[in-house]
Amino acid sequence: MKILVDTNVVLDIILNRPDFVQDSQLALEKAMSNGDRLYFSSSAATDVYYVVRKETGDREKAIEAIQDLCVLFTFADVSGECISDALFSKIDDFEDAVVDTVASNLKVDYLMTRNLNDFKNSKNQIITPSEYLYI
């Protein structure tokens, strides 16, 4: 199975967000133990670095977060075509539209996010970490 993981799932784990960390962590552990291929948008790596550094004030923690991403995920390239397609997406938020377009290009089985509303006009099958635990 191929799964593109949205930024919020990764940040929930790194920043230990109480309401979300457990299901996000368990979902990624399940995916790895199942042998699923996990992808992360290469453009989202900069977002992870920025948010982790801003919220923790710790540059080293931000660097470690990116190093962990390199181990856990295959980075999915964001091409100029992805950017162009995202501009005309039915998804309102441009960043989410880019993620959705990247997922479409990869032909993933699921795009995993906890923000279902952000992807209500997605071209992909959307699943939350909690839902993934039950498939």
Q: Token digits for 69?
A: 């991403």
Q: Which domain holds residue 85?
A: 2-132
* Domain count across the chain: 1
What's the pLDDT tens digit per position in 11-60?
Answer: 999 999 999 999 999 999 999 999 999 999 999 999 999 999 999 999 99
Q: Going by DSSP bridges, is the β-strand pair 126-127/2-5 parallel, antiparallel, or unpaired?
A: unpaired
Distance CA 77, CA 111 (A): 15
CATH code of the domain containing 47: 3.40.50.1010
Spatial contact of 4 and 76, defined as CB atoms under 8 Å apart: yes
Confidence of residue 77 (pLDDT cuts 50, 70, 90): very high
What is the pLDDT, as a whole number, of residue 45? 96
* Average of per-residue pLDDT values in the chain: 97
Percent of the chain having pLDDT more than 70? 100
Spatial contact of 124 and 104, defined as CB atoms under 8 Å apart: yes
What is the pLDDT, as a whole number, of residue 38? 98
